[in-house]
Amino acid sequence: MKLPIVTVLVAISAILTTLISAQASEQEADKFITDLMNKMTLEEKLGQMNLLSIGSDVTGPIVSEGVDEKIRKGLVGGVFNTLTPQAIRKLQEMAVNETRLKIPLLFGYDVIHGHRTIFPINLGMSCSWDLDLIERTASAAAAEASAEGLNWVFSPMVDTARDPRWGRVMEGSGEDPYLGSEIAKAMVRGYQGDKSSQEKQRKDHVALDKVLACVKHCALYGAAEAGRDYNTVDMSQVRMFNEYMPPYKAAVDAGVASVMTSFNEINGVPATANKWLVDDVLRKKWEFKGFICTDYTAVNEMINHGVGDEAKVAELAINAGIDQDMVGELFLKYGVDLVKSGRVPQAQIDAACRRVLEAKYRLGLFENPYRFIDDERWKEQTMSADKLTLSKEAAIKSMVLLKNDNHTLPLNPKKKVAFVGPFVKDQRNLLGSWCAAGEWQKATSVWQALETKSQNILYAKGCNITDDDALIKRLNPDNAMLSKDEKSPQALLDEAIQVANQADTVVAILGEPFGMSGEASCRSEIGLFENQLNLLKALKKTGKPIVLVLMNGRPLTLKWESANIDSILETWFSGTKSGDAIVDILFGDANPSGKLTMSFPVNTGQIPIYYNAKNTGRPYNEKDKYRSKYLDAPNAPLYAFGHGLSYTTFEYGYIKLSSNILKPGETLTVSITVRNSGSVPGVETVQLYTRDLVGSITRPVKELKGFQKVALNPDETKTVTFKLTPADLKFYNSDIKLVNEAGEYQVFVGGSSDKVKDAKFTLRMD
Ligand code: NOJ
């Protein structure tokens, strides 16, 4: 197609105008910041590097004190954990009206899966495999948070995680670096806008319904040994760059404004003092231009890591290139002396201060420090109808039907259903951990949703969430759901059996309390609590069909459940509209479409377990003793990455390749037909994997390279087409160079990583 010359010229001139004006605005920003910095004392510059918390969310050993006084002295660059426009305005007024240089504050917050309106926990959201939906939820959270006066969110959390004992798996997108990277990009777009709107925002400042994002926890936090939070990480660079680094890099490529370093060490050096990570990788290799903050007291914690005393760890962090010290205040305490004694170059402080000021400039805070604070907009945005609708959509799409024998689901509304379990009437747990400013009292419980849906329902609590007193004591005391029922465990059980006997089907809603996942919430065993499992076993003895609805923040071990229960629906903690979404799925008003993004192990002994593993020299073979395997458990997980059922079924045809050779500059088309072979409309996530059969280093047995969601009516068939280029097949070799290697590849397509069709092609590099 030929475009008229005039159109081309107009387009070129528009691009040039944007580039020139972006350059001009950058020059303007530079000049403004240089002038401002010329007036700043060293202490004031260190003040910009000081990030303090005011609020109840204390997630470490130190509580920020005397913050007001420090703000007034110009010794604070940003504050987090403060909510409401009134409180934020008050602090901003202090910074702007009472300090010498009137530099406004950044206002950060842990907006992790929604702000006031809560969406499913991130692990659940990732099971939707719906990037547009994920972007929309981040965008809604940005609109809600910014209307409150916040301008910076500590999200996305993109740590690849393969150990479900680690409580923070609930905050991330599971075990796969490709999916994790796509989700990282979608979330940055949602919070900050896409790349082109970010460019525009550099000139016109960040839009009022957007915020600055902060990708975390850089890097490798998800690989904490034994799934124990804050534990040591030790990893080869090949694994690091192929499997753990891609999501952080994806966020950087999407323009993320800031990065948070992690608590763990990398190559023996804590991330927060790691010059190689911060300077060589982030700033030089990845060309990251934003600012870098630490995690909560991570600088101080380097004393426990054993790399120095207070002054030394401050020196190490500043010299590594960290710009802001979260809560620990060691930059402020030692910065002046460190510069005067020559241990920290003045230029290092100037560069850090400049990067923080650049973020404030980008936000437009120097023009109007109150621009995000608007009571009217706050009222309008907070839990608005569209966000509640989105919350329900996200909840439905995140749920995963793990098992469904004999069409036990969907439920027949004409039949009597007994709802049993401590989560049936629960609201508190529905929001999950990191539920930011969400109010659990506004969440819809399953029972509330049921009451508007069906008359044919019975209820029994059945058991407490747990009867383990030591555990109850250790868990968040504000979780009232954990206080034990007045009735004895036996009385609760008897009641449940009586109710189950009156029903046609039993739905047991069980799981973990929300405080069992999230930060510092790891488990060494990840099954249902003993008392809940006992209830389930007693219900099974009634002989009624049983549906298990799970609420939890991590993959669980479900060996008995999977062998004995008819249907299992994983609902995670799915947010404000959990109840409505669960009830819609249970009664078939919505068809489940979620697919797992983390393998569910058979038992904890299999952990770490992930689909994209290496073949080893002695791959699994049941009949041969000297193979890589267990004597008491299979190698395969109970439910694989990508697994998830629907109320309908899908039939896959055979893979068709456009060629069996792929060369540089070419595209290989991989297509397959998918037919809805059941009786209701459904959505299938078609997954594409590859395997590099021979490489200079060993390669995973499968790697996700693409996916598409396809909606199909009964008997409808669609052809799903993927395009592969050599770039998609690149990997980091042992010199940590991103390369293509010629050779044979397998390509797989299917509805789960363990149920695929396959074909072969050759990559030629000549
Ligand atoms: C500690 C957590 O690791 C991090 O994710 C969070 O953003 C900060 N605390 C601030 O609350």
Measured at the CA of 380, the angle between CA 379 and CA 386, to 5 degrees, comes to 130
User: Which residue's CA is the nearest one to ligand 1's atom 4?
Assistant: 295
In angstroms, the CA 704 to CA 728 distance is: 10
Q: Specify the ligand 1 atom closest to the Cα of 214.
A: 7
Q: How many whole angstroms from 640 Cα to the centroid of ligand 1? A: 30
Measured at the CA of 366, the angle between CA 361 and CA 371, to 5 degrees, comes to 100
In angstroms, the CA 375 to CA 377 distance is: 6
Residue 436: pLDDT band with limits 50, 70, 90: confident
Q: How many whole angstroms from 217 Cα to the centroid of ligand 1? A: 9
CB of 295 shorter than 6 A to ligand 1: yes
Which helix (H) or strand (E) covers residue 180, if one does?
helix 177-192
| Residue 684, token pair as written in the block | 């299938």
Q: Is residue 66 part of a domain?
A: yes
| CB-count exposure of residue 35 (10 Å: 0-12, 13-18, 19+) | exposed
Q: Is residue 11 part of a domain?
A: no
Q: Decide if pLDDT at 3 tops 80.
A: no
Angle between helices 131-147 and 385-398 (to 10 degrees): 140
Of 483 and 417, the structure prediction assigns the larger pLDDT to 417
CATH no. for residue 348? 3.20.20.300
Residue 1: pLDDT band with limits 50, 70, 90: very low
Domain termination residue (choose one: 571, 606, 641): 606
pLDDT digits (tens, 9 = 90+) for 355-411: 999 999 999 999 999 999 999 999 999 999 999 999 999 999 999 999 999 999 999
pLDDT value of position 420: 98
Same domain? For 427 and 478 the reply is yes
Secondary structure of 410-476 in the HEC alphabet?
Answer: CCCCCCCEEEECCCCCCCHHHHCCCCCCCCHHHCCCHHHHHHCCCCCEEEECCCCCCCCHHHHHHCC
Question: Are the beta carbons of 459 and 602 closer than 8 angstroms?
Answer: no
Q: Is residue 33 part of a domain?
A: no
Q: Point out the catalytic residue in the list 163, 295, 566, 728.
A: 295
Same domain? For 73 and 218 the reply is yes
- Helix or strand or coil: residue 128? coil
Backbone angles phi, psi at 574, to 5 degrees: -105, 20
User: Which residue's CA is the nearest one to ligand 1's atom 10?
Assistant: 296
Q: Is residue 4 part of a domain?
A: no
Same domain? For 512 and 375 the reply is no
Number of independent structural domains in the chain: 3
Max CA-CA distance within the chain?
A: 83
Same domain? For 187 and 259 the reply is yes
pLDDT digits (tens, 9 = 90+) for 487-527: 999 999 999 999 999 999 999 999 999 999 999 999 999 99
pLDDT digits (tens, 9 = 90+) for 599-650: 999 999 999 999 999 999 999 999 999 999 999 999 999 999 999 999 999 9
Angle between helices 530-540 and 489-502 (to 10 degrees): 30
Best residue among 111, 292, 326 to mutate for probing ligand 1's pocket (most ligand atoms within 8 Å of CB) is 326
What whole-number percentage of the chain has pLDDT above 90? 91
In angstroms, the CA 556 to CA 571 distance is: 12
Domain termination residue (choose one: 325, 347, 379): 379
Same domain? For 129 and 227 the reply is yes
Q: How many whole angstroms from 59 Cα to the centroid of ligand 1? A: 7
pLDDT digits (tens, 9 = 90+) for 17-75: 555 566 678 899 999 999 999 999 999 999 999 999 998 778 888 888 999 999 999 99
Same domain? For 394 and 416 the reply is yes
Same domain? For 470 and 418 the reply is yes
In angstroms, the CA 571 to CA 423 distance is: 12
Domain termination residue (choose one: 379, 409, 426): 379
Same domain? For 351 and 409 the reply is no
Q: How many whole angstroms from 261 Cα to the centroid of ligand 1? A: 10
Residue 61's CB is within 10 A of a number of other CB atoms, namely 12
Same domain? For 200 and 309 the reply is yes
Q: How many whole angstroms from 319 Cα to the centroid of ligand 1? A: 22
Same domain? For 373 and 399 the reply is no
Helix spans in 440-573 (H): 446-451, 469-474, 489-502, 530-540, 559-564
How big is the chain, counted in residues?
766
Q: Is the pTM of this model over 0.95?
A: yes
How many helices (H) and strands (E) would you count in the chain?
23, 27
Q: Is residue 644 part of a domain?
A: no
pLDDT digits (tens, 9 = 90+) for 228-239: 999 999 999 999
Q: Is residue 85 part of a domain?
A: yes
CB of 159 shorter than 6 A to ligand 1: no
In angstroms, the CA 200 to CA 196 distance is: 6
DSSP code, position 709: E
Best residue among 52, 57, 59, 152 to mutate for probing ligand 1's pocket (most ligand atoms within 8 Å of CB) is 59
Best residue among 170, 214, 296 to mutate for probing ligand 1's pocket (most ligand atoms within 8 Å of CB) is 296
pLDDT value of position 385: 98
Q: Specify the ligand 1 atom closest to the Cα of 216.
A: 5
In angstroms, the CA 422 to CA 509 distance is: 7
| CB-count exposure of residue 233 (10 Å: 0-12, 13-18, 19+) | buried
CATH no. for residue 463? 3.40.50.1700
Residues 6+ apart with CB under 8 A from 224: 163, 166, 230, 231, 232, 233, 264
Q: How many whole angstroms from 604 Cα to the centroid of ligand 1? A: 27
What's the rounded mean pLDDT across residues 646-668?
98
In angstroms, the CA 546 to CA 504 distance is: 9
Q: Decide if pLDDT at 10 tops 80.
A: no
CA 346 to chain centre: 37
Q: Is residue 465 part of a domain?
A: yes
CATH no. for residue 756? 2.60.40.10
Same domain? For 260 and 131 the reply is yes
Q: Is residue 37 part of a domain?
A: no
Question: Are the beta carbons of 465 and 481 closer than 8 angstroms?
Answer: yes
Give residue 448's domain range. Answer: 388-606
CB of 144 shorter than 6 A to ligand 1: no
Whether 754 is a known active-site residue: answer: no
